[in-house]
A and B are shown apart, each in its own frame.
Chain A
Amino acid sequence: MKSSEKHTITALVEDRAGVLNRISSMFRRRGYNISSLAVGKSESAGLSRMTFVVDGDAKTVEMVVKNLHKLVEVIKVSDISEENAVSRELALIRVKCDVATRSEIMQIVDIFRAKIVDVSQDTLIVEVTGNEDKVNSLVDLLDSFGVFEVMRTGTVAMSRGASFEQDKSMNSPRILENAS
């Protein structure tokens, strides 16, 4: 598998000063590309959860996972790109609008189950939640009216069902298979 694609990786990390710095330093030093990064508190006090969307082939992603594991403050890492996972992103989009275009924009917003959260004389702010592709298509559609500003949170993701993130034991057969 040589093809470069997007992979989603989540990590449970200690919520301490400098952790983000350590992680981004590792990505930069090893030349891995993050296309989006989202961080927030987790279900446990003192721990945060991060979602990375990484560009690269399978080998690159495997090395990203291993190098994340290697950081002392990273507790769990999972590559959930091949799993059945839910991934969502929230975006705010400031669109140009006037009396003539307003209703057409509102129709599009409806189709995407998005919301208009602010209205002014000649702009609207649209709020949309969905996976990355959905957000991309809405931005593309709205672009014909004139998009002034896009603010995206980056993807957060979770695997479906009862599967939990695997722990750090690098001898899990899956990791060993990945290594070969």
Chain B
Amino acid sequence: MIKKGSQIVCESLLREGCNVVFGIPGGAILPLYQALPEYPELRHILTRHEQGASLAADGYARVTGKPGVAFATSGPGATNLVTGIACAQMDSVPLVIVTGQVNSWTIGSDAFQETDITGITLPITKHNFLVMDASEIASSIKEAFYIANSGRPGPVLVDIPRDVFVQEVEYEEPGELNLPGYSPNVSGHSGQIRKAANLINEAEKPVIVAGHGVIISKAYDELKELAEKAQIPVITTLLGISCFPEDHVLWTGWPGMHGMAYASFAIEEADLIIALGMRFDDRITGNPSKFALNSKKIHIDVDPSEIGKNIRVDVPIVGDVKEVLTRMNTHVGAATHPAWLKKIDVLKEDHPSLDIPETSKLLARQVVRDISDETKGGATIVTGVGQHQMWAAQHYRFKKPCTFLTSGGSGTMGYEVPAAMGAQVADPDSIVWSIAGDGGFQMTLCELATIAENRLPVKFAILNNGFLGMVRQWQEIFFDSSYVSTGYTGNPDFVRLAEAYGIKGIKVTDKTQVKTAIAEAMDHDGPVLVDFIVEQEENVYPMIPSGMTVYDMIEEPISEKVTN
């Protein structure tokens, strides 16, 4: 059957199970948009900025486990996507991005709105394609989906010139994948798996450090089985948060720069680290040459290039976490480790990292704790980047898997609005709270229009400290409180801003109003923005300065704890 390139794109997307696209049209991609009415099953959500489209696709992908899809036109449309693509690449999030390109015969001539987007995204995509003939669209999109969501997931960009969208070709279903250089190894080496199990059976002070890979491979049950069977404390990474229920006795927090002190010390004191789908990021290791020198390390990851990259490991296993754990668990014997678990309890008592000081002030941490209580730990939490992100990660008690969405690797401020939108589209019945910074929120707040238009009931909690708070904290600690360019004195009235978009707004200035405001937001059948005017100079503790070790940790000063 003869079809246009644009129709082939739509049919290919549908065949891959895609039914939601985020994007904005423009000249080069217009023929694709004009085909959309023929495909009502393909829902298009018109964002207000392409960064909103790529970050919404990211939020959508993290919740569904399917690739998030975004469209943008050539030139500035495509470059606006870049921040979201880089974010997805760093956090292993599957995206398939379709960009329009200038007509094929003008490529290279600096034509109007021409940008070499495959060149620009080369280092921030898992792979990309420039499709120069409509007969290659179907196979390229099939390959794009496969690459995006197999092995270690990541973003794949497909750039299509305008004339290729209108080109008519004999349309055939794509055949077998032809990717001779791409065959991710998911099964894991049996000998290595046995070796790992032996180390676990011999260990006296083991800890599990569970990363994003556990969530990506949905290895929740296998993780729990391992932890419970051998009584191993479970620490997660920032992106691993929610992969293990935080009301479980073996849950031991998350480590690193702003993680719980006891988690960092547990890693330091352990004799065996079982690292699952994580990458020993510098936010966790600090100085890698002084990191966890007392332990052997088992590292299970689907990406071989992560193994041995930052930290020397004793037993590397390349494979999918779920598959490897399923097989490894059968070789792991039951154990109890009473002395070690007791030691962990002592660490928790000695370093009560999550106590919130008694005060009449409105602390940001308290807001997070109250949202956690009001939602019983069952909401999907989406954050921006900064202090509020760390407090959300520390003080929300996650009980459901895959409910914490944050830009960990890239640290993308502005993630809090579009990713929350994408998460709500992915699961319309879930309760989505965006815990936002007053800074980051303003980077992407134009998406409030998209949220209102699509009646997405996202609840926003702006932890409004009138500062680029995390940077201000660094200035306070490392630059003698010289607050250069971090005060946000020109913030808008966020309540009136929300109302301008037809969104309910609530302002909270006093500690006593927090719980009722949260309840009111939850009762409201639609999006709500709550502007929490919090303490301006609250700091995130504990803190391990960049490149240092757990022994350089700064815990919350007593003087701050007792101020009223």
Residues of A near any B CB (own CB < 8 A): 13-14, 17-18, 21-22, 25-26, 29, 59, 62-63, 66-67, 69-75, 168-171, 173, 175-176, 178-180
In the complex, what distance in Å separates the CA atom of A173 from the CA atom of B314?
14
Q: Decide if B303 touches A14 in the complex (CB within 8 Å).
A: no
Q: Decide if A180 touches B181 in the complex (CB within 8 Å).
A: no
Residues of B near A73 (CB, < 8 A) are 181
Q: Decide if A180 touches B308 in the complex (CB within 8 Å).
A: yes
Task: Knowing A62-B308, A72-B147, A171-B188, say if A179 contacts B179 (CB, 8 Å).
Answer: no
Q: Decide if B119 touches A21 in the complex (CB within 8 Å).
A: yes
Q: Which of B181, B185, B308 contacts A171 (CB 8 A)?
A: B185
A-B contact pairs, 6 of them (CB 8 A): A14-B180, A59-B308, A70-B305, A74-B181, A170-B304, A180-B314
Q: Decide if B308 touches A72 in the complex (CB within 8 Å).
A: no
Task: Knowing A63-B305, A72-B127, A170-B304, say if A176 contacts B316 (CB, 8 Å).
Answer: yes
Q: Decide if A13 touches B181 in the complex (CB within 8 Å).
A: yes
Task: Knowing A179-B313, A180-B312, A180-B314, say if A72 contacts B179 (CB, 8 Å).
Answer: yes
> Which chain A residue shows the least CB distance to B302?
A170
In the complex, what distance in Å separates the CA atom of A24 from the CA atom of B318?
26
Report B178-228 residues with CB < 8 Å from chain A CB. 179-183, 185, 187-189, 191-192
Smallest Cβ distance from A138 to chain B, in angstroms?
38
In the complex, what distance in Å separates the CA atom of A171 from the CA atom of B307?
12
Known: A21-B119, A171-B189, A180-B315. 12 other contacts (CB 8 A): A29-B123, A63-B305, A72-B126, A72-B182, A75-B180, A75-B181, A168-B181, A170-B185, A171-B188, A171-B319, A173-B191, A180-B312
Q: Decide if B123 touches A25 in the complex (CB within 8 Å).
A: yes
Smallest Cβ distance from B148 to chain A, in angstroms?
11
- 9 A-B pairs with least C-beta separation: A66-B305, A170-B304, A179-B316, A75-B181, A171-B189, A179-B308, A72-B127, A179-B307, A72-B182
Smallest Cβ distance from B57 to chain A, in angstroms?
21
Residues of A near B118 (CB, < 8 A) are 18
Q: Decide if A176 touches B181 in the complex (CB within 8 Å).
A: no
Smallest Cβ distance from B113 to chain A, in angstroms?
21
Residues of A near B312 (CB, < 8 A) are 180
Question: Does B309 make an interface contact (CB < 8 A)?
Answer: yes
In the complex, what distance in Å separates the CA atom of A67 from the CA atom of B189?
20
0 or 1 for each of B153-196: is its CB under 8 Å from A? (1 = yes): 00000000000000000000000000111110101110110000
In the complex, what distance in Å separates the CA atom of A171 from the CA atom of B324?
13
In the complex, what distance in Å separates the CA atom of A107 from the CA atom of B136?
59
> Which chain A residue shows the least CB distance to B183?
A168
Residues of A near B127 (CB, < 8 A) are 72
A/B pair count, beta carbons within 8 Å: 71
In the complex, what distance in Å separates the CA atom of A170 from the CA atom of B312?
17
In the complex, what distance in Å separates the CA atom of A180 from the CA atom of B313?
5
Residues of A near B309 (CB, < 8 A) are 63
Size of the B side of the interface (Cβ < 8 Å), in residues, is: 32
Q: Which of A21, A63, A180 contacts B316 (CB 8 A)?
A: A180
Task: Knowing A21-B122, A22-B122, say if A14 contacts B304 (CB, 8 Å).
Answer: no
In the complex, what distance in Å separates the CA atom of A26 from the CA atom of B122?
9
Report B281-325 residues with CB < 8 Å from chain A CB. 303-305, 307-309, 312-316, 318-319
> Which chain B residue shows the least CB distance to A28?
B123
Q: Decide if A175 touches B304 in the complex (CB within 8 Å).
A: yes
Residues of B near A171 (CB, < 8 A) are 185, 187-189, 192, 318-319
Q: Which of B187, B191, B305 contacts A67 (CB 8 A)?
A: B305
Q: Which of A17, A62, A75, A176 contacts B189 (CB 8 A)?
A: A176
> Which chain A residue shows the least CB distance to B192?
A176
Residues of B near A29 (CB, < 8 A) are 123
Task: Knowing A170-B318, A179-B307, A180-B314, say if A71 contacts B122 (CB, 8 Å).
Answer: no
Residues of B near A66 (CB, < 8 A) are 304-305, 307
Smallest Cβ distance from B506 to chain A, in angstroms?
46
Residues of B near A63 (CB, < 8 A) are 305, 308-309
Query: Among the interface residues A26, A69, A169, A179, which one has the most CB atoms of the partner chain B within 10 A?
Result: A179
Task: Knowing A21-B119, A170-B318, say if A179 contacts B304 (CB, 8 Å).
Answer: yes
In the complex, what distance in Å separates the CA atom of A17 from the CA atom of B305?
25
In the complex, what distance in Å separates the CA atom of A29 from the CA atom of B182?
21
In the complex, what distance in Å separates the CA atom of A168 from the CA atom of B151?
13
Smallest Cβ distance from B183 to chain A, in angstroms?
6
> Which chain A residue shows the least CB distance to B147?
A72
Smallest Cβ distance from B275 to chain A, in angstroms?
13
In the complex, what distance in Å separates the CA atom of A171 from the CA atom of B318?
7
In the complex, what distance in Å separates the CA atom of A62 from the CA atom of B316?
14
Smallest Cβ distance from A174 to chain B, in angstroms?
12
In the complex, what distance in Å separates the CA atom of A13 from the CA atom of B179?
11
Q: Which of A69, A74, A75, A168 contacts B305 (CB 8 A)?
A: A69
Residues of B near A17 (CB, < 8 A) are 130
In the complex, what distance in Å separates the CA atom of A22 from the CA atom of B185?
22
In the complex, what distance in Å separates the CA atom of A175 from the CA atom of B191?
14
Smallest Cβ distance from B127 to chain A, in angstroms?
5
Residues of B near A22 (CB, < 8 A) are 122
Residues of A near B305 (CB, < 8 A) are 63, 66-67, 69-70
Q: Decide if B181 touches A14 in the complex (CB within 8 Å).
A: yes
Task: Knowing A171-B189, A180-B312, say if A72 contacts B181 (CB, 8 Å).
Answer: yes
Residues of A near B307 (CB, < 8 A) are 66, 179
Residues of A near B187 (CB, < 8 A) are 171
Query: Among the interface residues A22, A70, A169, A175, which one has the most CB atoms of the partner chain B within 10 A?
Result: A70
